[in-house]
Chains A and B, each alone.
Chain A
Amino acid sequence: MSFSFSDENILKIDKLKERYPSPKALTLPLLWMVQEQEGYISLDAVEVIATHTTRPAMEIYKTATFYTMFKLQPIGEYHIQLCKTLSCMLCGKTEILEEIKSTLGIEVGETTKDGRFTLSQVECLGSCSTAPMMQINTKNYENLTSKKIEQILKELS
């Protein structure tokens, strides 16, 4: 199999097992661990998780495909997730989206040719008082304006 956990992660898994009443509970933590180690979750990794959690691989796959944050294909180095829900819409996310699209030359769901940026629109990120906002990987960028977008993307390019 072409996937294996790093030695450091193997140690972490042993410790995690002690914190749950069943190894099945490790499904989400291990899906996260794979994604952080590899950038996405391959079918080979799904099988490895199945062994650790004592579940059929199909069950792991079923779980992995339910949650929007689990990526089953590689994506760009920087994942731009623009919040599209009501408060952000009321505060002008539509203009922000246009600014990002024209700066990067990609549509929603696409990745730039150099593999640096993937653009997604996502549902409420729980930051409504600083709308419009987006998350790039795990970092929040708030009170966005067209000018800020230009700066942020320039710094990351």
Chain B
Amino acid sequence: MIQETKLVSRRFKIPKVYQLETALKYEAYDTIKESLSQSPKRITNLVVESGLRGKGGGGAPAGTKWQLMPDDDPRPSYLVVNCDESEPGTFKDRQIISRDPHLLLEGMILSSYAIGANHAYIYIRGEYQSFEAILQGAIDEAYEASYLGKDILGSGFDLDVTIHRGAGAYICGEKSALLESMEGKRGHPRLKPKTKEPEWYFDNPTLVNNVETIASVPYIVKNGADAYRQYGTECSPGTLLFAMSGHVNRPGVYEVAFGTSMLEYINHFGGGMRGDKKLKALIPGGSSCPVLTADEVSKATLDYETLQAMGSALGTGGMIVMDEDTDMVEALKNLLEFYHDESCGQCTPCREGTGWSDKLVGKILSGKGTDKDIDKLLSLADLMNGKTICVFAPAVSGVIRSFIEKFRDEFVAKEQK
């Protein structure tokens, strides 16, 4: 029987748990006192052993990233929490910051202590100002109760938390673009270093993690790595706040263990397709993941390895469900407009490629396209793959290819007669 596994969303339904007084009655900040009296390495080790994977879309092992933070660097270290949630179909981090912000703060204290940071930032998208207000309220309360600030609970550990607001740029969810933005610049992703190293904020070693990743840390610290690993699969341990939107009866966010059947998830939590229509297609993890056909959906499980083997990706776990009446050419046009709007413009294949492909799909949609245009789109997708600083253009390339390869007949049907 499919069910929710509430590790991060455990307190979501408790009324007013965003207030400290209520949160404390339900074990908020329980892990802090003991953890701050023990070695910081203990927390890092737990996160490594738990197999926790970054929950912002990439799915890289969180512990490995933490271990890149230096022990003996004289410069200050920073933690930056990525709350720039802008991937179409994704709306899970806002649930954490608006329903249980103290869980995130508890995770930030533990994570900052582990990496030796005395200042942590939360980079939040500019459109989330109503949620930002709730989060700021929680931060203010945490300062007053000595969970933040100087000498937290008499432990000798200091931590300041500052919210930094973005201003409407999708690309700032990419960690190096986010840091450029935090330095006051345009959100242009940085070139990747040859060897693994931390991120840098004004040349200081910095760890960037997604909201949900950091909010998963208190459970792991409290219950141990094995407790976390009892959920999910070998390669994808634990849970994710999966989400669905589009043509389902009950869209929303439901936390389940990795490895859950995709179709069961949609039918059980989503209440099936709206208006008893048939499922045609589904984008699994935010719009940047290649689209799946209904047949693929029936075979898919919600974990990194299965979706990768299917030529798609788990991404953020935000599924967009499309029924039999969906015009796939129109859907691709919508996504390409998004990517054209949001390309940062730094690399030519991306800046130009998103615009050209948007125009070509527009031409096909308006009934003026030919076979040649479809081939040109595929060749453009090739040109956009593997030639840019960040993964934005390669993702668009995969999206275009999947729509055409799986739904080519719909593109052909719109060709000029």
Interface of A toward B, CB cutoff 8 Å: 19-22, 24-29, 31-32, 53, 55, 59-60, 62-63, 66-70, 81, 84-87, 89-91, 122-131, 135, 138-140
Q: Which residues of A contact B183 (CB under 8 A)?
A: 22, 24-25
Q: Is the CB of A63 within 8 A of B186?
A: yes
| B301 proximity list for chain A (CB < 8 A) | none
Q: Is the CB of B334 within 8 A of A89?
A: yes
CB contacts (< 8 Å) of A129 on chain B: these are 91, 243-245, 251-253
| From A21, A28, A29, A84, contact of B76 by CB (8 A) | A21
User: Which residues of the partner chain B approach A20 to less than 8 Å between Cβ atoms?
Assistant: 162
Contact present for B168 and A67 (CB under 8 Å): yes
Tell me what chain B mostly uses at the interface: helix, strand, loop, or mixed.
mixed
Residue numbers in A under 8 Å from B342 (CB-CB): 123
Q: Does B201 contact A (CB under 8 A)?
A: yes
In the complex, 19 of the A-B residue pairs with CB atoms within 8 angstroms, ordered by the A residue number, are: A28-B164, A63-B185, A70-B167, A84-B337, A86-B320, A86-B331, A90-B322, A90-B331, A91-B247, A123-B170, A123-B341, A124-B88, A124-B89, A124-B90, A126-B128, A129-B91, A129-B245, A131-B251, A139-B130
How many chain-B residues does the 8 Å CB contact rule pick out? 58
- Residue of A whose beta carbon sits closest to that of B187: A66
Q: Which residues of A contact B243 (CB under 8 A)?
A: 128-129
Chain A CB within 8 A of B318 CB? yes
Check B184 against A138 for contact (C-beta < 8 Å). no
B61-86 contacts to A, CB under 8 A, are 76, 85-86
Q: In the complex, what residues of B have CB within 8 A of residue A70's CB?
A: 167-168
Interface pair A67/B91, CB less than 8 Å apart: no
A-B contact count (CB 8 A): 152
Residues of A within 8 A of B126 (CB): 32, 67, 69
Tell me the complex Cα distance, A86–B363, Å. 19
Contact B184 A19 (CB under 8 A): no
- Is B166 a contact of A124 with CB atoms below 8 Å? no
**Complexed CA–CA distance, A3 and B160 (Å):** 32
Residues of A within 8 A of B335 (CB): 85-86
Q: Taking the nearest CB of chain A, how far is it from the CB of B79, in angstroms?
A: 13
From known contacts A85-B88, A123-B88, infer whether A67 and B167 are also in contact, taking CB-CB under 8 Å.
Answer: yes
User: What CA separation (Å) do A37 and B164 show in the bound complex?
Assistant: 18
Q: Cβ of B251: which chain A residues have Cβ within 8 Å of it?
A: 87, 128-131
A89 to B283 alpha-carbon distance, docked (Å): 14
Report yes or no: A69 in contact with B88, Cβ–Cβ below 8 A. no
Task: Tell me whether B167 and A124 are in contact (CB under 8 A).
Answer: no
In Å, the complex CA distance between A126 and B356 comes to 26
Given A24-B183, A69-B127, 14 more contacts at CB 8 Å? Answer: A24-B202, A25-B202, A28-B166, A32-B165, A66-B169, A68-B168, A70-B167, A85-B88, A87-B89, A90-B246, A124-B170, A128-B251, A128-B318, A129-B251
- Decide yes or no: A24 and B89 within 8 Å by CB, A126-B127, A129-B252 being known contacts: no
Q: Does B204 contact A (CB under 8 A)?
A: yes
Contacts of B337 in A (CB 8 A): 84
